Structure 1
Amino acid sequence: MKFKVGDVVQLNSGGPRMTVLGNGVNENGKPVVGCSWFDGVSHCHAVFPEESVRPPRPSKLARWLGLAPTAADSEGRLRSA
């Protein structure tokens, strides 16, 4: 299990930031992550293969302000300096 409930993730291909609601395995035994997000109007949720999501990239503003994560912790999550 890569992500904890409440973690913020994003699809590897981009898209909205999503909140992890839970973890599990699919019918093939592969790890999956249940996520929730807002599309501007609606509350959406879906289940994604664990390998298809990652921690979100820091925004340009966060990088400019020096708030961008600088290293990974022991579980591979990025942390700020």
Structure 2
Amino acid sequence: MVSVIWTPADKPTERHVVVHAHRDGMPAADKGYFFLSDESDWGGSGPFDMRLDEVIDRAKQKASDEGLHTVVVVRKP
């Protein structure tokens, strides 16, 4: 099972999936993108961002596919 952790005080030391969440658009909506912790943050924006619930579902699937147990959600300012 994959655990979703919101804005942890300490970043997990094991490999994990990172979700960057933010508010965007008119009207403002929660959106985001994800990447593996040991890969570079490709800086999703604009049309590449997805609704936050969809991003978390896809991140959980990616974690499961990679044999990982943790998804960390971080709010970007």
When the two structures are superposed, what TM-score results if normalisation uses the length of structure 2?
0.34
When the two structures are superposed, what TM-score results if normalisation uses the length of structure 1?
0.33
- Please state which structure has a larger fraction of its residues in strand: 1
The higher radius of gyration belongs to: 1
Relative contact order, CA 8 A, sep 6+: which one is greater?
2
- Please state which structure has a larger fraction of its residues in helix: 2
